[in-house]
Amino acid sequence: MDEDKTKKFLVKKNDTVGRFAVVSENLKAGDLIFTEKPFAYGPKTDSPPLCLGCYNPVDKNLCSKCGWPVCCTECENIPSHKDYECQVFSNARVKFQPVDDPSAICLQYECITPLRVLLAKEKYPERWEKEIIPMEAHLKERRDKPIWKFNQVNIVEYLRGPCKCDRFSEELIHTVCGILDVNAFEARAPSGYLIRCLYPNLAILSHNCVSNIVHAIECQGTGDQDDFSVHVRAAVDLAKDTEIFSSYTYSLWPTLIRRDFLRESKYFECKCERCSDKTELGTHMSSLKCNKCDNGIILSTDPLDDKCEWKCTHCNFSTNAVAVKKVFSTIQAEIETVEMMSDSEGIEARETIFRKYRSVLHPKNAYMTILRVALSQLYGKAEGYTMEDLPDLILERKVELCEQLLEVLDVVEPGYSRIRGITYYELHSPLLILARNQYAAGMINKEQLRRRLQQAIDCLGESAKILKGEPSCTLEGQLYQVARQAHEQLSSNIDMLVETA
């Protein structure tokens, strides 16, 4: 396979963690480590009925061969449908049962991606042996969970019964479901809907709550073109033999929530350096403020124990992890409600949450950080809050949000991470406008103006550098083009900008 020639990692094995990967040469941040195509991909669990070719919501159109949702003949002929479930469904004459609410979860879709993996096993037996069998399926842990019964009814019995796929054993189908749940990565279809993809190499990387790689997924092409290939790059400089890690969880959640998620969905107890540190590597993403004394911070006494005591650093106030988790869940629920709002309503609502919890959470707490991500992007974009609308005070707020955010991201999403690239882009625009406004108001002189403009240009440069590897079909890939062009133009025009200010 041509992918193997360019890959810059080696797979190792040991008894405690199983397989893991190290880089095979010294790499610079941004360097490509490997590219690969998914072994199989398809709808996520809990998916609404989407086109089985392109994953757009479908109105009523059905595949002329199998009778399952597709949007058009072109989608009907996309190999991932035509050469996979389409044949099984047409041979067994299992039709899609119409649904009342096309936006609701559709149980008939649960079987699609597992079926595609099973059919890929038959098409590529060697890849299956070499790449998929070694993947963790955690059957033991899953057997007594509700997921087992759910899959038994909706996938195992459906495939082996009506779909006439009894050549696949119950055990094998459950194994495939486990492999998908534990190892699949999300990708965004051009429709905006998320699907899941099984990448054999990417799945080898162990988890760490601070990843040292970035992965970017190509969009779906048409026909035989590239389908959801993933590009894995070094996020930071990596010396030869450094282990590479991806993160299986959301990096901006606090430790208690990340570890819960990893335990529930990936079946392991994360003991990474970040999880083991009560300050989360100095970011204080889990820390609370003490309201019994002036400068106290409430920290976990043992971050790897989710029932331990949490104590104030200054007074003798103490609480426990269970109570802290409750606080986190409450805030998380409030933030989720806000995500349904329009952009401009969302700004006000987030600022309200921000003020409400300012006396409870450490300023760098994960939820303050999550609010900052949204606010830093919405100021300048939301209706009534475009860059031209914003008064200097709000422009300064946007600068502050971006800078505080970057302090945390530098630690938990270091190097060439998309979120850092976006935040640098967001930071450049208020810096640029504030510099001009302040010069116009006589608050700064020409020399200071030049320095401020240069600072904004440097942010653009940083943004372009970080986002350079993003596929051009993605929003980040498009942002890269914008940042690169603006960087070029401003760099070559800075003298004129200062002169004519």
Contact string (CB under 5 A) for Zn ion, positions 167-206, x = contact: ----------------------------------------
Residue with smaller CB distance to Zn ion, 81 or 452: 81
Choice from 50, 71, 112, 299 touching Zn ion (CB under 5 A)? 71
Q: Are strands 185-188 and 40-43 parallel, antiparallel or unpaired?
A: unpaired
Residue 290 contacts Zn ion per CB under 5 A:
yes
Q: Which of 21, 33, 40, 54 lies at the binding interface for Zn ion (CB under 5 A)?
A: 54
Half-sphere CA count of 284, side-chain side, radius 13 A: 16
Closest CA relative to residue 218, chosen from 475, 479, 471: 471
Evaluated on CA atoms 56, 57, 58, 59, the torsion sign reads negative
CA distance 256 to 302: 11
Q: Which helix (H) or strand (E) holds 121?
A: helix 112-123
Q: To 10 degrees, the CA torsion angle through 445, 446, 452, 455?
A: -150
For strand 40-43 and strand 230-234, is the pairing parallel, antiparallel, or unpaired?
unpaired
Chain residues 204-243 in contact with Zn ion, contact rule CB under 5 A? 209
Closer to Zn ion by CB, 75 or 409: give it: 75
Q: How many residues bind Zn ion (CB under 5 A)?
A: 21
Q: Could you say which of 27, 33, 50, 86 contacts Zn ion (CB under 5 A)? A: 86
**Smallest distance, Zn ion to C-beta of residue 81, A:** 6
Helix (H, G, I), strand (E, B), or coil: what is residue 311?
strand
User: Contacts with Zn ion in 293-322 (CB under 5 A)?
Assistant: 293, 296, 312, 314-315, 317
> Closest Cα to residue 198, out of 217, 213, 174?
217
Q: Judged by CB under 5 A, which of 33, 63, 252, 432 binds Zn ion?
A: 63
Pairing type for strands 245-246 and 206-207 reads parallel
Of 63 and 434, nearer to Zn ion (C-beta) is 63
Q: Is 272 in the site for Zn ion (CB under 5 A)?
A: yes
Report the site for Zn ion in 375-434 (rule: CB under 5 A). Answer: none
What are the backbone angles phi and psi of residue 243, rounded to the nearest 5°?
Answer: -70, 140
* Cβ proximity to Zn ion, 209 vs 395, nearer residue: 209
**Between 70 and 401, CB nearer to Zn ion:** 70
Assess 117 for contact with Zn ion (CB under 5 A).
Answer: no
Residues engaged in binding Zn ion (CB under 5 A): 51, 53-54, 63, 65-66, 71, 75, 86, 209, 270, 272, 275, 290, 292-293, 296, 312, 314-315, 317
